[in-house]
Amino acid sequence: MSTSTRRGRRPGRPDTKAAILAAARESFAAAGFGGTTIRAIATTAGVDAALVHHYFGSKEDLFVAALALPVDPRAVIGSALAGPADEAAEKLVRTFLSVWDDPGFQPALLATVRRVLEPGGDKLIREGFLPVVLIPVGEQLGLDRPELRMPLVASQVIGLILARYVVRIEPIASLDPERLVAIYAPTIQRYFTGDLGG
C-alpha cells in the first residue's frame, strides 16, 4: 500500500486536521474552488479522502473552514438577509459592522484579509467566496441575476472592510456604525433589488 495516502488517522500524529486545512488553503489559493478536489487535498495531507469528509463534510464546508474565520459567513449572511429583500442591505451592513467591530473577532478577520491580499489569494474570493457563500445567498433571496448582483454587493462590502479596518481611511475608520449603514445601505440595496440597466 502506498505510504502517500494512508487510510484513517496518521499514527501518532494529532495534527491531521491542521494538515488537511493547510493542504486545503494551498489548493484553494492555487487552483480556486472549482479546480480543487477533496482527493487532491487528501493526497497532499497524506490521508484518505474519506477522512477529509469525516472531519469537514462537503468541499464547501472545508473551504469555509480553510478561511479560518471566527464565524461561518454563510450563517451570518443568511441570518442577516432573512426577511424582505428590500431590507437586505441595511441588515447586511449592520451585521458586517457588528462582527468586524467585535474585538474578539477582528484579529482573525484581519488575518484572513491579509491572506486574500497575498499572491493567489484573489482566487479565494473570486473562485471560492463568491460562488460558495455570496451567490447562493442571492439565489435564496430570489434575486434576479444573482451572479451579477452579489459581486456588486461584494465590491461595496470589501471596499468598506479595507477602508475601515485595514487601511483605516478617515473618516470611515471612526464613523459611527449607524452612520455607515445610512451611507452604504442605499447603494448596496440598489445592487440587491434596483435597476442595473441592461
pLDDT tens readout for residues 54-70: 999 988 889 888 877 77
Nearest to 150 by CA among 126, 166, 171, 168: 126
Report d(CA 111, CA 127) in Å as an integer: 19
For 95-145, the pLDDT digits (tens) are: 999 999 999 989 988 988 888 788 777 877 887 888 888 888 888 888 899
Residues 86 and 60 both lie in one domain: no
Does the residue 6 lie in any domain?
A: no
Identify the CATH number of the domain in which residue 59 sits: 1.10.10.60
Longest dimension (CA), the chain: 62
How far does CA 74 lie from the centroid of its chain? 8
Three cell numbers written together for 17: 486536521
Does the residue 176 lie in any domain?
A: yes
Nearest to 133 by CA among 62, 187, 78: 78
Residues 99 and 60 both lie in one domain: no
Report d(CA 154, CA 176) in Å as an integer: 21
Residue 85 lies in domain: 73-193
Q: Is the pLDDT of residue 35 over 70?
A: yes
User: Which of 22-36, 115-129, 150-164 is predicted with the least confidence, judged by mean pLDDT?
Assistant: 115-129
Q: What pLDDT band is residue 198 in, cutting at 50, 70 and 90?
A: low
Phi-psi region of 145 (alpha: psi -120 to 50; beta: other; left: phi over 0): left
> For the whole model, what pTM was predicted?
0.75
For 4-23, the pLDDT digits (tens) are: 444 444 443 558 898 999 89
The average pLDDT across 78-92 equals: 83
